[in-house]
Structure 1
Amino acid sequence: MSLKYQTVPVTSFAQNCSIVWCDETMKGVVIDPGGDVPQLEVIIKELGVQVEKLVLTHGHLDHVGGTQPLARALNVPVIGPHKADNFWLQGLEGQSQMFGFPLTEAFEPDTWLDEGDVIEFGHQSLSVLHTPGHTPGHIVLFNQDSQRAFVGDVLFNGGIGRTDFPKGDHPTLINSIKTKLWPLGNEVTFIPGHGPESTFGYERRTNPFVADEMPLY
C-alpha cells in the first residue's frame, strides 16, 4: 500500500490543488481546493477516490476559493489551517474583489489544525506542522512513508513564500523552513502551492533564499 496523489493546477494563479489518497482503500483528501470545482469533481470521479476531507494549508483565496462548493458537492468536512489564519478566511469577500475572483464568502473550517495533529485516510496519514511566516496560520502536511510534503506557499522550487501580506514575516518564514522542513530530510519531495516539485536537499543546495552549507553529495 502506498500514498498516491495527483496535482491539479487551478485558478488563474495556477495553484497546485492536490488530490491525495491511499491506493489500498481509495480513501483520500483534497488539499487546497482553490477553484475550478467542476474540473476537480470530474478528476476525483475518474480517479475513483472517496474523498473524506478537504484540507487547507492557509487562508489565501487561490488556495481556498473552491472549498465551500466542493465540500457541499462531496458532503465532507473542511479541516485546517491553523486558527491564526481565521482573519484571512473572514476576509475572503475582500480578497475576491482585490484579485478579480468570483465572490467567495467568508467561512470557518469544521476543525482547525495544530502542530502535531494527524490526518488519517485509509491506511495513510499526514502529519501537521505549523509553519508561520507566509501567513501566521500556515500548515504543512507530511507523509513519512512516501517522503512527501505538501507545503503550500512556504517553499517553492527556487523560491519562498511572499511575506509582504498582512501578518506575514520574513524571519519567521525562514525559521519555519529551516526548523520544521529541513529536519524532515533532504530526500523528501515537496509539492509546493505553485510550480514544479523539488526536494528539500536540492533547495538547501541551490535556493538563493534558504541555501545553507549542506555538503554536496
Structure 2
Amino acid sequence: MQYKIVPVTPFMQNATIIWCDQTMQGAIIDPGGETECLLAEVSALGITLSKLLLTHSHVDHAGGTQDIADTLNLPIEGPHRDDQFWIDIFEQQIQQFGFPGARVFSTNRWLEEGDTVTVGEETLEVYFCPGHTPGHVIFFHRDSKLAQVGDVLFKGSIGRTDFPKGDHATLINAIKTKLWPLGDDVRFIPGHGPMGTFGEERRSNPFVGDSVG
C-alpha cells in the first residue's frame, strides 16, 4: 500500500491518499477540504478512487467529504456511529470554524471495533478510539505497519478533549490499549503535523509516554 499526505485548509489537516499497488484503487482518508486540490493529486497519481474514509466528524477532517462523494459517486465509510452528535451540528461547525465550502455528509457505513475496510487488495483494520470525539476510529495497515490515527495522537502531543463529548481519560485509555499494542515500530500519520512512531511516543510523549503516571 502506498500513501501521500496532502495538508488541506488553513488547519493544515493531513488528508491522506492511500492506494493499492496491484489495482491502483485508492481512497482518501479525512478529505477535510480543498477538494479540487485533492482530486488533482489523485489524477496525477493515476489512481481510481473507490471510497472515502473518515476517522471522525470534525469539520476540518470531513468538510470536503460529501462534495467528493457526490462528484465521483463514492461511498463514505466511517466514523463510528457515536460521532452522529458532531454530524448533527455540522452546520454550526462550518460557521464557527470558517469552512464556507464545507457540506454536511452522510456516511454509508458506520465502523466498529474489529471491522476492516478494503482498498483494492489492501485491508485496513479498524480500532475504536474515542476521547477526542465519541466516535473516533483509527485505520491500521498491518503489512506496512502504518496507522492513520486522526486526532487521537500527535508527535509529542495528544488530541484535544475540551470539545463537547470529549474525555481525557477515555482518550488516554484508547491510546494505551488500542495503539500501543500494535507495536513500537508502527509509523503513524496524525491528523495534523509530522509523522512519528508509537515507540518514540512511548519514550518521550509528555502526555501518554510510559513514564507518565
Q: TM-score, length-normalised on structure 2?
A: 0.97
Letter of the 1:17 partner, please give it: A
Gaps of 5+ in 2: none
Give the superposition deviation at 1:107.
3.0
- Look up the match of 1:179: 177
Would you say the 8 A contact 2:65–2:105 is kept in 1? Answer: no
Structure-2 change in CA distance of 1:25 and 1:103 (3 Å)? closer
2:42 and 2:203 mapped to 1: Cα distance? Answer: 36
Letter of the 2:32 partner, please give it: G
Equivalent residue runs for 1:28-177 within 5 Å: 28-102=26-100, 104-177=102-175
1:182 and 1:20 mapped to 2: Cα distance? Answer: 23
2:107 and 2:9 mapped to 1: Cα distance? Answer: 21
**Cα shift readout 1:72-109 (whole Å, capped 9, x = no counterpart):** 12211011000000110121110011111115343320
Which residue, 14, 17, 29 being the options, matches 2:15? 17
Would you say the 8 A contact 1:148–1:188 is kept in 2? Answer: yes
2:158 and 2:84 mapped to 1: Cα distance? Answer: 22
Would you say the 8 A contact 1:91–1:106 is kept in 2? Answer: no
Give the superposition deviation at 1:28.
1.4
1:115 and 1:28 mapped to 2: Cα distance? Answer: 22
1:24 and 1:169 mapped to 2: Cα distance? Answer: 41
Give the aligned length. 212
Shifted more, 185-194 versus 74-83: the winner is 74-83
Q: TM-score, length-normalised on structure 1?
A: 0.95
1:65 and 1:213 mapped to 2: Cα distance? Answer: 37
2:48 and 2:137 mapped to 1: Cα distance? Answer: 23
Letter of the 2:188 partner, please give it: F
2:126 and 2:109 mapped to 1: Cα distance? Answer: 13
Deviating beyond 4 angstroms after TM superposition, the runs of 4 or more aligned structure 1 residues are: none
- Look up the match of 1:26: 24
Letter of the 2:193 partner, please give it: G
Identical counterparts, % of pairs:
58
